[in-house]
């Protein structure tokens, strides 16, 4: 052991503290990397070995579909093939390591659409005197850390190939004003939080989905790479997204957006994180966004709802993640499992959902999160001052909007309508009415039905 002198944070005072020799640290790091690499290689080899079994299972599903016995009556052959492959892959890899799943889940990154413009963004993390559960993390900030994010916008193929800006942005034959022509402080944007059970995936893996959202809503999308578990435990991810939102609306910052021009959006764990952030902002009297759109939000980390097991025959998520050892997301996310019912961890257990911005939720009719999403929707609807609209798509799975299914396009179009018309209308109505009266909520729903017929999914 060798002593290294380091300057402390108190002016005029120095302390000596011990560190391991640099060579020792390098050796330990090399051993960890070697061990993880060997594990992943072994798991990949096991996948190759199990490939015939997976193909047999997939062939069985396809044959049943051909005989007009699909798992779900509305599934076409494309849905059957995609879900058969995902379920076979899931079942043969349930016990694999987190490193393995992180490796295979980067695959969607290579599917970035050609008409997708990506602009990197670096979010400076500074001390903001944030209260409550994130106070300890906030006190540790010294202004040197940044958070990676990226702006995603849908552009025309012409602009992608030849570059530059034109008078109008041609998107698949339709003229629309360029998304970047709006003054920064007035521009309407979406802040997007990706899914991945809090421990995998990224803004980059979700480009196909955020591109669709940008095209439908005519807004730029800021996709945030919040820190993942288990390297960063709760409330690290919550702190990162709160910091990002406050950075966007900071009057002294780079963007100085009006919070009422920002929709918070996320899928799966990202959807649950959106709701956790809304609850934190509300509880501490911080500015709230224009609204929120949640795709299959994961709002209960206790896995206590029956649909986790009942829907596993159709969905690609595991039947009971609590039974997993290496990949139990709740254990990876939480330092103390007793926090699992904290409302910022599992929003379904929040005491109330009053005074939240308008919320739109989309979910699949046969996904594992079906019951908890229905429950939290009911709880929000029972509040006196918050409005929620829930769309359930028959026979669809978890975050089906990310897949090339027929109903995915319908759902994305609905997201666009809500971003452009639905949420702004509710906000305008609430500024004119006394939102604490229950009849106000009923009137809002009536007026919305007049604006747009309720679709049958």
**Residues 257, 260, 264, 265: is their CA dihedral positive or negative?**
negative
Burial 422-457 (b: 16+ CB within 10 A, else e): bbbbbeebbeeeebeeeebbeebeeebeeeeeeeeb
Query: Which token pair is 200?
Result: 């995998």
**Residues 424, 429, 431, 437: is their CA dihedral positive or negative?**
negative
Annotated catalytic residue, options 206, 342, 398, 414: 398
Annotated catalytic residue, options 268, 292, 296, 363: 268
Annotated catalytic residue, options 150, 290, 367, 372: 367
C-alpha distances out from residue 394 to 264, 271, 315, 363, 372, Å: 25, 20, 13, 9, 17
Instruction: Please give the Cα distance from 265 to 296 (Å, whole number).
Output: 11
Annotated active-site residue 398? The verdict is: yes
C-alpha distances out from residue 30 to 75, 102, 407, Å: 48, 19, 47
Annotated active-site residue 367? The verdict is: yes
Distance from CA of residue 424 to its chain's centroid? 22
Active site residues: 268, 367, 398
């Amino acid at each position: 052991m060798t002593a290294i002198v380091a300057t402390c944070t108190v002016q005029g005072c120095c302390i000596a503290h011990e560190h391991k020799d640099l060579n020792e640290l390098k050796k330990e790091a090399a051993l960890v990397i070697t061990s993880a690499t060997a594990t992943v290689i072994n798991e990949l080899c096991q996948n190759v070995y199990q490939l015939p079994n997976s193909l047999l299972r997939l062939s069985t599903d396809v044959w049943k579909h051909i005989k007009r016995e699909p798992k779900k009556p509305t599934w076409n052959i494309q849905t059957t093939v995609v879900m058969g492959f995902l379920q076979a892959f899931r079942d043969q890899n349930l016990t694999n390591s987190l490193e393995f799943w992180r490796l295979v889940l980067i695959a969607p990154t290579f599917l970035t659409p050609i008409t997708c413009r990506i602009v990197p963004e670096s979010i400076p993390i500074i001390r903001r005197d944030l209260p409550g559960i994130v106070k300890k993390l906030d006190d540790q900030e010294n202004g040197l850390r940044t958070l990676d994010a990226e702006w995603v916008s849908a552009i025309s193929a012409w602009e992608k190939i030849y570059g530059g800006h034109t008078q109008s942005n041609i998107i698949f034959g339709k003229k629309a004003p360029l998304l970047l022509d709006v003054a920064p402080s007035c521009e309407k944007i979406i802040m997007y939080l990706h899914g991945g059970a809090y421990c995998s995936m990224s803004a980059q893996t979700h480009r196909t989905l955020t591109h669709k959202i940008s095209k439908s809503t005519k807004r730029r999308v800021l996709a945030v790479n919040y820190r993942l578990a288990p390297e960063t435990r709760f409330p690290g991810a919550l702190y990162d997204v709160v910091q990002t939102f406050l950075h966007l609306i900071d009057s002294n910052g780079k963007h100085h957006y009006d919070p009422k021009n920002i929709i918070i959006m996320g899928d799966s764990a990202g959807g649950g994180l959106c709701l956790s952030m809304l609850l934190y902002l509300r509880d501490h009297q911080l500015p709230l966004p224009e609204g929120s759109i949640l795709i299959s939000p994961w709002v209960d980390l206790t896995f206590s709802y029956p649909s986790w097991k009942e829907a596993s025959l159709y969905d690609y998520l595991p039947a009971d993640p609590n039974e997993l050892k290496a990949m139990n997301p709740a254990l990876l996310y939480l330092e103390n499992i007793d926090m699992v019912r904290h409302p910022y961890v599992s929003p379904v257990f929040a005491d109330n959902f009053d005074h939240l911005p308008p919320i739109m939720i989309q979910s699949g009719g046969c996904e594992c999160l079906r019951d908890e999403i229905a429950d939290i929707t009911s709880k929000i609807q029972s509040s006196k001052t918050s409005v929620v609209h829930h769309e359930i798509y028959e026979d669809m799975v978890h975050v089906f909007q990310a897949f090339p299914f027929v109903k995915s396009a319908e759902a994305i179009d609905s997201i666009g309508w809500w971003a452009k018309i639905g949420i702004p209308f509710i906000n305008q109505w609430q500024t004119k009415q006394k939102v604490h009266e229950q009849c106000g909520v009923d009137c809002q729903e009536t007026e919305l039905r007049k604006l747009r017929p309720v679709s049958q999914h």
